[in-house]
Amino acid sequence: MTETMVAGASTAAVTRVGWDADQAVTQLYSEHYRPLVRLAALLVRDYATAEEVVQDAFVAMHGAWRRLRDPGKALSYLRQSVVNRARSVLRHRAVVEKHAPKALPDAPSAEHGALGELERAAVIEALRRLPTRQREAIVLRYYGDLSEAQIADAMGISRGAVKSHTARGIAALRTVLEQTT
């Protein structure tokens, strides 16, 4: 066993690191797991995925421990492995999102459309039955979205007459529509 310097999160610490993978990885894990997860979480924007990325990096390092030239650089190896695995996750997400099936727009059912068409047809038919001034006042108010003053100008009548024609027209529409339903 040899003594080497392993960089800590804030300070360097002298650590006994030999070529025993279990001991070395256990010690690195206990000292650096959380900072590595924070790093990965910042990269992949998902804490659960960040934990998986870091755990996979530790597993890979454990498997490659004998091939590690300088055990003192194990933390650097881990950081680079976490960054590379995070990039891989992001690339995979981009491919999945690119090839994900497009969601169908929310469309009402055919039955809903048919009922809506029947209702619109009934309202239009009831509007046709109204006297001209009442029909004009209602159409300008509710379909044209004009104010009473604008309607009065458009029809050439007073605001009071607009209120009167609108109120009478709505009452007549209500009566006709209640009879048809």
pLDDT tens for residues 83-92?
Answer: 999 999 999 9
What's the average model confidence in pLDDT over 70-94? 92
Where does the pLDDT of residue 3 fall: very low under 50, low under 70, confident under 90, or very high at 90 and above?
very low
What confidence tens digit (pLDDT) does each residue in 135-154 have? 999 988 988 888 999 999 99
What's the Cα-to-Cα distance from 160 to each of 90, 94, 138, 154, rounded to whole Å?
65, 62, 14, 14
The pair of three-digit structure tokens given for residue 12, joined into one six-digit string = 């360097």
Domains and CATH numbers, the chain: 19-102 (no CATH), 112-180 (1.10.10.10)
Element (DSSP H or E) covering residue 13: strand 12-17
* pLDDT surpassing 70 at residue 15: no
pLDDT digits (tens, 9 = 90+) for 94-121: 999 999 888 777 777 777 777 788 788 8
Q: Which residues contact 79 (CB under 8 A, 6 or more apart)?
A: 36, 39
Proportion of the chain above pLDDT 70, given as a percent = 89
Whose tokens are 């755990």? That residue is 55
pLDDT of residue 123: 86
Distance CA 89, CA 56 (A): 12
